[in-house]
Amino acid sequence: MEIREIKDYTEIKEEQDTILVLGYFDGLHLGHKALFEKARELAVRDKLKVVVLTFNESPRLAFVRFQPELLLHLTSPQKRHEKFAQYGVDKLYLLNFTTRFSQLSAAEFIQNYIEALRAKTVVIGFDYKFGHDRAGGDYLEQYFKGRVVTVPEVQKHQKKISSTQIRQLLNTGDVAQANDLLGYEFSTRGLVVHGDARGRTIGFPTANLAPLDRTFLPADGVYVSDVLINGSAYRSMTSIGKNITFGGTELRLEVHIFDFEEDIYGESLEIIWLEKIRDMIKFESIDALVAQLHSDKERALNWKKDSQEG
């Protein structure tokens, strides 16, 4: 897949007709996947390539008072690009959503961007809006010279799949349900750094991680997880929280990797979040904490996706 970062439409270079997919695709969940499946179907039929025009950051940054959460994503840029490629995108155009861009009318967007991208067919979601006048699919069908394919709402458990819903699930720690809506496992990349080394003293050494990407983290708690290290996967349990049993005040991300004893400081790991085991709680004694950790370990080692779904 070719990736091009552009400042505006003048940098678009397309010499052949395309199947164009439009939207902001944070997380690339199952609802988004439906658009790319339709685009790929049309591309094979018409012998055209699939092109996407999307944004590096949330369009909301151009409209609302800044909050740090607006800079967070469901997936890292690297993983997002990998998912685009996996879903059959041939060329990805990345654009910053600026004030200047937001002031384009729907007609200007069609003329400057859609036509420049040589779209024969445009694929959009049922709720897609564009231009400062917030035009929708009906406007596009009326004024765009090519074909418009609107993909209907995708639901699971009688609710629309959306990035907002997935973020809400992560905020409650329901990573299993978030994974179900994403269609793949939510993950976090981190750099292994030195911590308090307290876990070694109680038989549960942990790798302390400094998150590497501007991605959401799940709610505080202890989770069943897999961890990817240099291409190999290991079952693990991961905690995120403030180590309140030991009077901690800073957020810590720690992973205990089963059957693994190497020193990996400075390595980049990827935590695959599978299911929440429990909340972070304050234990009255170290013995009580260790007993709970053994119980957590047993649950993590015996965790299977099929049993979780059942």
What average pLDDT does range 68-82 have in this prediction? 94
The answer to whether the beta carbons of residues 121 and 147 sit under 8 Å apart is yes
Burial class (CB in 10 A: 0-12, 13-18, 19+), 96: middle
Domains, the chain, ordered by start: 2-160 (3.40.50.620), 173-309 (2.40.30.30)
pTM of the predicted protein model: 0.90
Predicted confidence at residue 247, as pLDDT, reads: 53
Question: Residue 245: which pLDDT band, with cuts at 50, 70 and 90?
Answer: low
Whether the per-residue pLDDT at 116 is higher than 70: the answer is yes
State the burial class of residue 42 (Cβ atoms within 10 Å of its Cβ: 0-12, 13-18, 19+).
middle
pLDDT surpassing 50 at residue 310: no
B/e letters for 128-166, b = 16+ CB within 10 Å, e = fewer, are bebbeeebbbebbeeebebebbbbeebeeeeeebbbebb
Reported residue count of the chain is 310
Give the E-state strand segments of the chain in sequence order.
2-6, 18-22, 49-55, 91-95, 119-125, 147-151, 155-156, 159-160, 187-193, 207-211, 221-229, 232-241, 252-257, 268-278
What CA–CA distances, in Å, run from 159 to 73, 153, 166, 179, 222? 22, 9, 12, 15, 28
Q: Read out DSSP for 78-90?
A: HHHHHHHHHTT-S
Q: At which residue do the structure tokens 């902001």 appear?
A: 24
Which residues are CB-contacts of 65 (< 8 A; sequence separation ≥ 6)?
Answer: none
Q: State yes or no: pLDDT of 248 exceeds 60.
A: no
pLDDT given at position 199: 65
Confidence of residue 198 (pLDDT cuts 50, 70, 90): low
